[in-house]
Structure 1
């Protein structure tokens, strides 16, 4: 996780799946000023505590909004990045994001337009 987080990013929240919850990652985030929004795991052999279930549900509401964008780019847009070099990959990802934003804008405009 330390390689994934950018310390110059002004947003302090780190939203991630349970796979990223570990003592090492939590300590790294706390030490570097990040706020952990990582899902908590269900205890083995026990039901999920209600408090944990509700906290995970709130985190999922935020994460799902972001993950739907990536799912749309990967699915209907068939966006696959196969390039050599970071600059080319960044350019391709930027163009994919631009295309998604234009599609989303047009969809929102059609919804807003009077019939």
Structure 2
């Protein structure tokens, strides 16, 4: 986690940010898929109720969507929390380094 001369964060920090973003996106996408599947089930139930219990062999489109179990969702959420915690500690470390760096710069220029 070193900075170059211009103070730009090197690839380590960027890699963490990308990893967190991907985990969040995966979790959000998974939750959206679960919600979509629930809505599809509700619509099918409503359609079946509206057809006065007539039997119909409708194809669900065969999308092959893998619905995550509640355990998988909880595990992803826990993993995301751990990554966010690590990201926060990295941000705090960077802030501390920046503040001590500014103090040294001020000390050196005030001599």
Same-fold call, TM > 0.5? no
Bigger RCO of structures 1 and 2 (CA < 8 A, at least 6 apart)? 2
TM interval, short-chain normalised: 0.3 to 0.5
- Structure exhibiting the larger radius of gyration computed from Cα positions: 2
Higher normalized helix content (fraction of residues): 2
TM-score (norm 2): 0.32
TM-score (norm 1): 0.31
Higher normalized strand content (fraction of residues): 1
